[in-house]
Amino acid sequence: MVEFEDGRLEDQAVLSAADSLLRPLAETGSRLRRAAMLADSSLAAIEPEEHVRAMITFGPEARLLRAVLEPTCTVPLVAWPRLGLPGWVGPLDVVVVLGGGDKATLAGAFEAVRRGCRLLVVAPPDSVLAREAASSATTLLPTVSNDPLAAAIVALAGMDRLGLGPEIRLPQVADAMDQVAAESSALVDVSANPAKAMAMELADASPLVWGGSILAARASRRIAEALRAATGRVVLSADAGALAPLVASVSPRDPFADPFEETPRNRRPGLVIVDDGRDDEQASEERQLLRNLSYTQEVTVSNLCHDHGDPVERYAVLLLKGLFAAAYLQIGLGRH
């Protein structure tokens, strides 16, 4: 079994060797800022659409768009996963295409142009997708980085301009991501670095990840994927109905057990709570249930919190915090 060594999190030689793992996370805010600058003139030219029947999104992070827009969008919204478009889509509908050169994305863009849809495309200006989507009803939001999250946030800013989504403050979102990068820097000691601290909390655990709101739940799934890749362990993201029985079934700690005899079979879970401050009454009750069970069963609880800013800022910050923690967990395990 691979053992976690907390000394690796302070070893500058180890951290330098893991630069390719940490640097892309640290540059997330700057990639968004650059994407926003490139798309600024295109965003400014977008006028509100008054007669929209429905909105269809597809491409990487299309489901993130749906999660952000559904609570406030004034028209039906579909995240379409298949080739082409639904048969009913026509000129009264808005189609949002997030950059990608896969067959499904290109086919959807081509169909949207053919049917005369209002089209919003986030892609490199010299890409095949940009060429396939070109039309008098198309707005291209240019991007140059291969960052689906940045592309999705810029697309949401376009939805804001169309009058179909919440207000998105791109500079504030990028600044908030920079703040996460600063506090999670490899140069920051574990005593002041929340990402390193969370990695140590999960060093020997099989993480269970929970988020209450729609966007917190989505962030929890992405964080679980990162933790799974970082550790090679079973990591579950689910609602309280699935997680509570797992926590309740954990045996209390044996004070006489040999910690060096721990195996994957008897590894204890660690609960990660993702909190964007937007829980409804049911989610609040579920959170309290999981906390109480964790306390009773002596299960460690790690908290990822960001409860201010617009919904997109909260999501982006929570996701980045979780990704940094997963990166340091991977480094501590020597798997980088």
Query: Looking at domain 6-18+186-332, what is its CATH homologous superfamily?
Result: Glucose-6-phosphate isomerase like protein; domain 1 (3.40.50.10490)
Contact in structure between 9 and 199 (CB atoms under 8 Å): yes
What are the CA-CA distances from residue 203 to residues 231, 327, 330, 332, 334 (Å)?
A: 9, 12, 9, 8, 12
pLDDT at 261: 57
Angstrom distance (rounded) from CA 56 to CA 77: 6
Copy the structure tokens of residue 221: 């799934």
DSSP 3-state assignment of 186? coil
- Residues facing residue 206 across a β-bridge: 269
Q: Coil, strand or helix: which one is 311?
A: helix
Residues 6+ apart with CB under 8 A from 59: 97, 98, 99, 100, 105, 108, 122
The per-residue pLDDT for 17 is: 95
Q: Is the pTM of this model over 0.75?
A: yes
* Parallel/antiparallel/unpaired status of strands 118-123 and 138-142: parallel
Q: What homologous superfamily is domain 29-170 in, according to CATH?
A: Glucose-6-phosphate isomerase like protein; domain 1 (3.40.50.10490)
DSSP 85: -
Successive 10-residue mean pLDDT values, the chain, 336 residues: 88 95 97 95 92 91 91 88 86 90 82 94 90 92 89 95 93 98 96 97 96 96 98 96 95 65 72 96 96 95 95 97 98 93
Q: Rounded distance, CA 61 to CA 59, Å?
A: 6
Q: Are strands 206-211 and 269-275 parallel, antiparallel or unpaired?
A: parallel
Question: Which of 283, 287, 263 shows the shortest CA–CA distance to 206?
Answer: 263
As a whole number of angstroms, the distance between CA 314 and CA 166 comes to 13
* Per-residue pLDDT, 68: 94
Residue matched to tokens 């980045």:
320
Q: Which of 182, 204, 184, 206 is nearest to 193 (CA)?
A: 184
Q: Which two tokens stand for residue 166?
A: 């919440």
Q: What is the pLDDT of residue 240?
A: 96
Per-residue model confidence as pLDDT tens digits over 180-213:
999 999 999 999 999 999 999 999 999 999 999 9
What stretch(es) of the chain map to CATH 3.40.50.10490?
6-18+186-332, 29-170
